[in-house]
Amino acid sequence: MGSLGAVLRHPDDLYPLLKLKMASRQAEKQIPPEPHWAFCYSMLHKVSRSFALVIQQLGTDLRNAVCIFYLVLRALDTVEDDTSIPTDVKVPILIAFHRHVYDREWHFSCGTKEYKVLMDQFHHVSTAFLELGKGYQDAIEDITKRMGAGMAKFICKEVELIDDYDEYCYYVAGLVGLGLSKLFYASGTEDLAPDSLSNSMGLFLQKTNIIRDYLEDINEIPKCRMFWPREIWSKYVNKLEDLKYVENSDKAAQCLNDMVTNALMHVEDCLKYMSALRDHAIFRFCAIPQIMAIGTLALCYNNIEVFRGVVKMRRGLTAKVIDRTNNMTDVYLAFYDFSNILKPKINKNDPNAKKTLSRVEAIQKACMDSGVLNKRKSYIIQSELRCSSTMIVIVFIILAIIFSYLSST
């Protein structure tokens, strides 16, 4: 529920954190009784708790389709990520994965922890997949086939150029955006979004993850797999791993800023995509991760800690985003506020300062042109609250009551 220190520094985080905790418990109680569906939703909670929470708000048929879509692609990703699998074994599995979803007996042991469980018991996912409507099945099969082929291509290919980077991100994330748009359309609740906008929705999230996960990926055992394009990082260091060394901190920050600037190019497309959504549950499902992404980039920009540890939004702010994202007004406000956090961090001596500033100002203009920025107070940018001793005591008492209640139930 977030560290106690963070709650004391931001006592207004407490209520959203409580709502998030209770909603998470409620979602866990809604797991279907059928063994295969129980496995799928239980696994969803284990591999992505926040995603599992947002998905629960979708209608039943669409929720089941998105759940299976996510688990199929998570399984495909587990095969790709497992660097212990020989290439001559991995590539055929990736290419044929779209056929395995129709096979109730197929499984392949790889990955670790909950991902190994997913792969060992993949027959539950296949069984659930076969109960989906044909429109959902066709969309999932198509995207899985294209993604598997793309992943196989990049097993044997380095990300050299920015074009390679965009192509890789298209295969592993842009196609997710296209697939979700197809599922929304198949549900009858949304029009089919243009592929270019769906692609940008995926690329913005994927590029954010690639930036944030630098240290985890570079230190992966038995060997690392990195997707920062050589065309960018070679301007600053001789080897990609050099970015994590203290003596290269200045160059590392410049390279990081270059990567963030590249990711920001997708924001305007994302805003267009979200503004066209009609269904409230689908809107929240799409908007919350996008706000988390712009918030993460605002924290990562010019932040050398990306090369030292984990940089992410505090749990309380995440809870606020989940609680308070309900319409495009909320989205425009959040994107405007997070771009305001990033903007003062732009150093005029940075090689990409002009380009970064131009992209941030374009985002802010898109938000301002919406005409909604003056309709609501920000919950993201606010003066730090000074916690009096009375406030601290009150927070401690509330927390004690909450934990006592949760322990008893």
In tens, the pLDDT along 244-301 reads 999 999 999 999 999 999 999 999 999 999 999 999 999 999 999 999 999 999 999 9
Q: Which of 196-205, 309-318, 371-380 has the lowest mean pLDDT?
A: 371-380
Catalytic residue among 225, 278, 308, 376: 225
Output the CA–CA distances (angstroms, integers) from residue 93 to 15, 145, 300, in the order listed.
46, 11, 35
307 DSSP assignment:
G
pLDDT of residue 181: 98
Domains 28-157 and 187-378 share a fold: yes
Structure tokens at 114: 């909950």
Domain 28-157 has CATH 1.10.3720.10: no
Catalytic residue among 170, 204, 285, 332: 285
pTM: 0.89
- Segment 56-92, tens digit of pLDDT: 889 999 999 999 999 999 999 999 989 889 999 999 9
Q: Can you say how many angstroms the Cα of residue 276 is from the centroid of all Cα atoms in its chain?
A: 21
| Best CATH choice for the domain 187-378 from the list 1.10.600.10, 2.60.40.10, 3.40.47.40, 1.20.1270.360 | 1.10.600.10
Catalytic residue among 70, 115, 154, 168: 168
CB proximity list for 129: less than 8 A, separation 6 or greater: 68, 72, 101, 102, 137, 140
Of the candidates 109, 80, 110, 114, the residue with the CA atom closest to the CA atom of residue 95: 80
> Is the per-residue pLDDT at 41 higher than 90?
yes
> Is the per-residue pLDDT at 221 higher than 70?
no
CA dist 303 and 249 (Å) reads 10
Pair 392, 8: CB distance under 8 Å: yes
Catalytic residue among 74, 212, 284, 359: 212
What are the sequence ranges of the domains in the chain?
28-157, 187-378
One-letter amino acid at 111 equals G
Q: Which residue has the tokens 């920025």?
A: 373
**From the CB of residue 166, how many other CB atoms can be counted at a distance below 10 Å?**
18
**How does residue 383 score in pLDDT terms, banded at 50, 70 and 90?**
very low
Pair 168, 227: CB distance under 8 Å: yes
225 catalytic, yes or no? yes
Pair 274, 328: CB distance under 8 Å: yes
